[in-house]
Amino acid sequence: MTATVSPQVADALRTLGPFDPEVCMSCGTCTATCPLGIDVLPRRVLRDAALGLEDHLLAEAEAIFSCLLCRACESACPAGVHISEDIRLLRRYLLRKEAR
Amino acid sequence: MTAPQPRRRRIGVYVCHCGGNISDYVDVGRVVEAVREEDDVVVAREAMFTCSEATQREIVEDIAAEELDGLVVASCSPKLHQTTFREVARRGGLNPYLYSQVNIREQCSWTHTDDRAGATEKAIRLVRAGIAKTRLSAPLEPLNVTTTRRALVVGGGVAGMRSAVALADVGIEVVLVEREDHLGGAVAGLGEMFPNQVRGDELAARLIAEIEQREAITVRTRSVLREKRGTYGNYEVAVETAGKVSRVAVGQIIVATGFVSYTPELGEYGYGMPGVVTLEEFDRLLAKSSGPLRAGGREVSSVAYLYCVGSRNEENPACSRYCCSAAVHASILAARRQPSLRQFHLHRDLRTYGRNELAFRESRRLGSLYLRFGDDDAPRISAEGEQVRVIVRDQLAAGEELALSVDLLVLVTGMRPRSNDELVNTLKLPVGRDGFFNEIHPKLRPVETIVDGVSICGACQGPKTAAEAVTSGLAAAAHAAAVLKRGVAELDPEVAIVRAEACSGCGECVSACPFAAIALLDGASPRARVDASACKGCGACVPVCPEDAIDLQGYRDVQLRAMITAMAGEVAP
């Protein structure tokens, strides 16, 4: 199944606040530092958002909402991605989706 | 023929451990003990690192204290340290050619790691041979040839131009030959370049202006090199301009003929389709326009870059090394003039070396998204209305197959060698397997070629950025200037010599010489004569002489016979 890349999702997220998943270089440090060990890799969530794979984001909603926003990943991120801010935006985006 | 009875010599022998490289597999102490008793050996020592300054000084002191008149170091390949130890001999007041190097590392310890006793015995035999050669060694003086203080630079791109300017600034005349009707080369067509944010067209224009200001530089556009004659430091070249050939005397030749951009086959990743361009074409588009991007009469709101087109494949396994950084940089320029532009980079590996890593980071900050595809899993390209549709399996999204539609697809193409058979034949340039010209060593001798007097620089020796091309142009200028400024070049005296009284003038040696260094002198009876500045000391002429009239300085027949005898002697178990 081929997924279609739609930058509109990232555009919509950016209307809610600063959103920087493209800065991620897919190193995986975030996954290694997550104290919660959430099911979905943070970098994968960011990548799905950047690529605009909305059905993936919906499937990853539980992981996105179980994040503690502790910023352990963010302080370790060598690329300087604002991971917890990005997760908060994703939560707002998903909540709005559900409300509609 | 019996060897003449040599007078007594005083020879110093030093056997090196090479910090274990040798002593792990060769019993260095045994070698020293075995050769200590050889005739004429007055000093025999071992050293952890003979090339260290401390041991070098010890040798210098030994030469004076023991009145040595011959020196042998048994260590690594002469390619590595022959010059070092010749210099040690010189420091000790000894003629450098009274020194012999014996290679017991590459030829003993590294090759016979399974046989310590055998490696040790072989080392003893080799050192004995070195002593035998040294016993018959004679002082030699380097050959001095006066050089023509003028250089020929072939190719008027940034590398060749910078080279010409540098040579002119140290007082050397330059003839700059360019095939096109104007100077500038590939860089003249470029806008802002990485990593120094210099514009290519401005850089080329600045160098052209610099050249115009220098009387020492003669520019010959629409010209090609047709012929080269002469010997080291004194060549005569024929340059053809619009059908007219003129001859110029030069002392050094610098080749800076550049590259060609790879042009994909029609249909290769959609090339030929509307909306599909090469990196070269995209660079030109960026250089020649401003404001929001337009291509083919339409606004461009999304761009995809497909990396490694024409590189790292079966037909051309080489990485063109500059194109990753060039594409990343192009995307930064595009994002700056059009922040809403969506950019996707489809890459295999990203080689943004050195400072270019910062550009990779900056491009991501500006919104570029990077997707990695596998080596055998190239993206598929098709037309979709006025757009280009790309299907790619992104390894960073767990190998998911993704479809994206973009207004412009940039095929990130690399540099290919420019084919120039005539120049290669005229100068005997060494061409590598990849088609670029070869330097002697990429790090140690980066602009010299195996052809004496001919240097290379710029992208004719492999893909380079403009900054790297200019740097290598300066290196080539420095190398040429080092030879020409002295006015005299020192050549290795280990060349063939003819005993005229024994020569019958048969001419066998003339046809055996691969360097055209031997000629028959006319006269009542013709005699062979070696041009020492053309002779490379290869020895090809020595065995073909039916009269045994030729000898190689430093490797005379008597020396080689003595070496064989010494090598064949008994070695105590």
pLDDT tens digit sequence for B205-253: 999 999 999 999 999 999 999 999 988 899 999 999 999 999 999 999 9
A47-74 burial, b at 16+ Cβ within 10 Å, e below that, comes to bbbbbbbbebbeebbebbeebeeeebbb
Residue at B499 is within a domain:
no
Tell me which chain A residue has its CA closest to the CA of residue B302.
A7
Low-confidence ranges of chain B (pLDDT < 70): 1-7
Distance separating alpha carbons of residues B133 and B564, to the nearest angstrom? 10
Position B203 scores a pLDDT of 97
| Final residue in a domain of this structure, among B448, B473, B488 | B488
Same-domain pairing of B301 and B411: yes
Residue at B522 is within a domain:
no
Residue at B496 is within a domain:
no
CB spacing of B403 vs A5 below 8 angstroms: yes
Position B2 scores a pLDDT of 55
Q: Nearest CA of chain A to the CA of B402: how many Å?
A: 5
Distance separating alpha carbons of residues B244 and B552, to the nearest angstrom? 43
CB spacing of A22 vs B400 below 8 angstroms: no
Chain center to CA of A98:
17
Same-domain pairing of B407 and B427: no
Q: Nearest CA of chain A to the CA of B352: how many Å?
A: 13
Question: Which of chain B's residues have a Cβ under 8 Å away from the Cβ of A51?
Answer: 369, 394, 397, 402
**Number of domain units in chain B:** 3
Position B4 scores a pLDDT of 59
B153-162 burial, b at 16+ Cβ within 10 Å, e below that, comes to bbbbbbbbbb
CB spacing of B364 vs A22 below 8 angstroms: yes
Same-domain pairing of B134 and B228: no
- CB < 8 Å from B in window 38-57 of A: 44, 47-48, 50-51, 53
Residue at B531 is within a domain:
no
Position A4 scores a pLDDT of 94
Tell me which chain B residue has its CA closest to the CA of residue A19.
B367
CB spacing of A22 vs B397 below 8 angstroms: no
Q: Nearest CA of chain B to the CA of A5: how many Å?
A: 5
Position B76 scores a pLDDT of 95
| Final residue in a domain of this structure, among B358, B382, B415 | B415
* DSSP helix/strand/coil, B543: coil
CB spacing of B401 vs A1 below 8 angstroms: yes
For residue B17, give every residue at least 6 positions away whose Cβ sits within 8 Å of its Cβ, in sequence order, or none: B23, B28, B46, B47, B48, B49
Q: Nearest CA of chain B to the CA of A4: how many Å?
A: 5
Position B79 scores a pLDDT of 87
- Domain ranges, residue B107: 8-141
Position B478 scores a pLDDT of 97
Task: Please compute Rg for chain B using Cα positions.
Answer: 30
CB spacing of A23 vs B397 below 8 angstroms: no
CB spacing of B344 vs A25 below 8 angstroms: no
- CB < 8 Å from B in window 81-100 of A: none
- What are residue B281's phi and psi, to 5 degrees? -65, -35
CB spacing of B401 vs A3 below 8 angstroms: yes
Position B5 scores a pLDDT of 60
Residue at B399 is within a domain:
yes
Distance separating alpha carbons of residues B97 and B100, to the nearest angstrom? 7
Which of B303, B380, B400 is best to mutate for the A interface (most A CBs within 10 A)? B400
Position B170 scores a pLDDT of 97
Interface of B with A (CB under 8 A): 302, 342, 344, 361, 364-365, 367-370, 391, 394, 396-398, 400-404
Residue at B20 is within a domain:
yes
Q: pLDDT tens-digit profile of B88-116? A: 999 999 999 999 999 999 999 999 999 99
Q: In the predicted model, what is the mean pLDDT of residues A42-70?
A: 91
Residue at B513 is within a domain:
no
CATH number (domain holding residue B280): 3.50.50.60
CB spacing of B344 vs A50 below 8 angstroms: no
Position B490 scores a pLDDT of 86
CB spacing of B370 vs A1 below 8 angstroms: no
- Residue A99 banded pLDDT, cuts 50, 70, 90: confident
- What are residue B389's phi and psi, to 5 degrees? -105, 130
Tell me which chain B residue has its CA closest to the CA of residue A81.
B365
Position A40 scores a pLDDT of 74
Same-domain pairing of B155 and B253: yes
Residue at B361 is within a domain:
yes
Q: Which member of B364, B398, B402 has the closest CB to residue A2?
A: B402
Tell me which chain A residue has its CA closest to the CA of residue B362.
A23
Distance separating alpha carbons of residues B89 and B179, to the nearest angstrom? 49
Same-domain pairing of B377 and B240: no
CB spacing of B344 vs A5 below 8 angstroms: yes
CB spacing of A3 vs B365 below 8 angstroms: no
